[in-house]
Structure 1
Amino acid sequence: MEAFYRDCLRFGCLANFKHFSLYLRGREELLVTIRHPPEAEGASHAASVNQKEKNKQATFGVTSQQLPPASPATRESSSDNPTETVFLIGAYARYNWPYVWLRSNLGKFGGNSADKDLPLDLNTTQRWKEEGFRVWDIVEELVQMNVVPAPLDPFEVDFTAFDVMPDLERSLLAGALAFFLRDLLLRDIPYAEIVQRDLLRVLEVHFRGGGVPIESEEKEG
């Protein structure tokens, strides 16, 4: 689990993603908030059907045994914001395996309040060791399950968020994001072209240390 812990520490410190935010809570817990504006939910019948099919892939109870997280649901916020869904990724030494628990909007997966301490049955957690999945692979699956229509790039960067950041903080975060996006490009991903475009813009933010760069197409125009 040491490699997974290192991934959580590195990934959990990142910010300014369009479709999700991260909050690192200690060595073994990562809170992931998936953003999905109401207008995107059920925008069409086809999208609604697609969403239902995705949600079928996640069920409560990985095994016949209950595997509660170290932070039970009673300690979490009970707010159900219709534009967000919160998940807890736990990589506890006592389980020696990463699991994911739902922390809001329980009804969208057909569960009830009694299910909050049961882990979700996800492909990336089931096949974590076999496929060598990383923590960001788990987040990618959560984004694809919850955002309708599914984004082409689950790790799309929200460049407007850089506007309100102090220069030094903006430069440091942009550097960390660039390092992460570069690593994504070393893998066989279907959205590599989009990631490469974001990487170039993030590098410009990092080295300029000033405002957010404009799109390259606008520069050429």
Structure 2
Amino acid sequence: MAGQEGGSQDQVSSGTEHDAVPALSGSLYRQKREKELRKRLNHFLSDLAILGSLQGFRYFQPWLRGREELLLTVVNEDQGWFSPGFPVSAASSLTSPSSDSSSSDAGTPPPGEPPPQAPHQQSSRNGEAHLLPASPSEREIAVPEMNCTLFLLAGYAKYGRPYAWIRSNHERLVNIGGTDSLVRDTPMKLKSITDWCSQGTRVWDIVSELVGLCTVPPPVNPFSLDMCYLQTLSLQERFLVSGAIINFLEMLLVYTSRDQPFYDKVMEEVDILRRLHIRSLWEVQKHRGTTSPSNQ
């Protein structure tokens, strides 16, 4: 009997240890997964900072606001519009907006003109309605340019992944079914964000989807450049800005599938911009040579 009891205890002990192995493996897997997602979010925030420092795109204009937020102005209708390249305003540089004014009506077409049509998204209270941005829409003081819609892209550490919110022209893009702040601050249902865990979304994936959703007609290349704006920059600024955009677009090409419809168009833009960059460098060097003390 004693032998049987001892054998039974050994079996129970062995079974307990056997059950603990999968539990430990699951815990290690979760820790590894969480570490991987944190690393991925840090990469996203790095991309966000790089994009926020750039100007010169035709269909959108980014403004960095803090480490975790970026305001993105996207063109509504392509009417030969080019990015203004305005310096960052006080409104767009504030980390915690305090104004009570709402920008939900900003960018509304003049009376008598029908608003441009764009695909509508369904906004839902379920699941993601509680994922509010750190800067509520009703206190947004950044105002988009005419014929533009303002978006907020953010990678908050507390959510562990990026999200996008509409900050103006809500009715143009989303069937909100109400006007209360909770609905208006519900994050957008974007494929690029849905693919975050499985495919590792980068900031240009979200920008591309937002431009395709907002701009009418949807451009073939959402990253098309505003060469007119770049040509208006001073020589030194043109050299620096063109180099920064080249760096961003080359990074985009490295991590983007060649199957993307805009891939070849971006390559063409990079070639054009690279020639502008080299020419600007040559002119900068020539200018420095003619103004150096040895030539005076």
Instruction: Give the Cα separation in 1 of the matches to 2:65 and 2:278.
Output: 30
Whether the 8 Å CA contact 1:170–1:209 is kept in 2: the answer is yes
Higher RCO (CA < 8 A, seq sep 6+): 1
Query: What's the C-alpha RMSD, in Å, of the aligned pairs?
Result: 2.5
Which of 140, 149, 167 is matched with 1:85 structurally? 149
Structure 1 residue 113, shift from structure 2 partner: 3.4
Which of 201, 211, 219 is matched with 1:151 structurally? 219
Which of 76, 87, 104 is matched with 2:140 structurally? 76
| Equivalent in the alignment of 1:33 | 73
Instruction: Give the Cα separation in 2 of the matches to 1:144 and 1:61.
Output: 25
> What amino acid is aligned across from residue 23 of structure 1 in structure 2?
W
Which of 103, 113, 117 is matched with 2:179 structurally? 113
Q: Note if 1:136 corresponds to 2:200.
A: no
> What amino acid is aligned across from residue 270 of structure 2 in structure 1?
L
Instruction: Give the Cα separation in 2 of the matches to 1:110 and 1:159.
Output: 36
Structure 1 residue 183, shift from structure 2 partner: 2.5
Q: Note if 1:192 corresponds to 2:263.
A: yes
> What amino acid is aligned across from residue 175 of structure 2 in structure 1?
G
Which of 137, 161, 165 is matched with 2:233 structurally? 165
Q: 1:122 to 1:60 in 2, by over 3 A?
A: farther
| Equivalent in the alignment of 1:100 | 164
Instruction: Give the Cα separation in 1 of the matches to 2:261 and 2:215.
Output: 18
Structure 1 residue 164, shift from structure 2 partner: 2.3
Q: 1:61 to 1:9 in 2, by over 3 A?
A: farther
Instruction: Give the Cα separation in 2 of the matches to 1:10 and 1:64.
Output: 28
TM-score calculated relative to the size of structure 2? 0.62
Percent identical among aligned pairs is: 34
> What amino acid is aligned across from residue 175 of structure 1 in structure 2?
G
| Structure ID, larger Rg | 2
Instruction: Give the Cα separation in 2 of the matches to 1:83 and 1:131.
Output: 33
| Equivalent in the alignment of 1:7 | 47
Instruction: Give the Cα separation in 1 of the matches to 2:276 and 2:78.
Output: 31
Residues 167-218 of structure 1 show CA distances to partners (whole Å, capped at 9, x for unaligned) of: 11111110111122222333322222221221111112212228xxxxxxxx
| Equivalent in the alignment of 2:27 | none
Q: 1:78 to 1:26 in 2, by over 3 A?
A: closer
TM-score calculated relative to the size of structure 1? 0.81
Instruction: List alignment gaps of at least 5 residues for structure 2.
Output: 1-40, 81-108, 110-115, 282-296
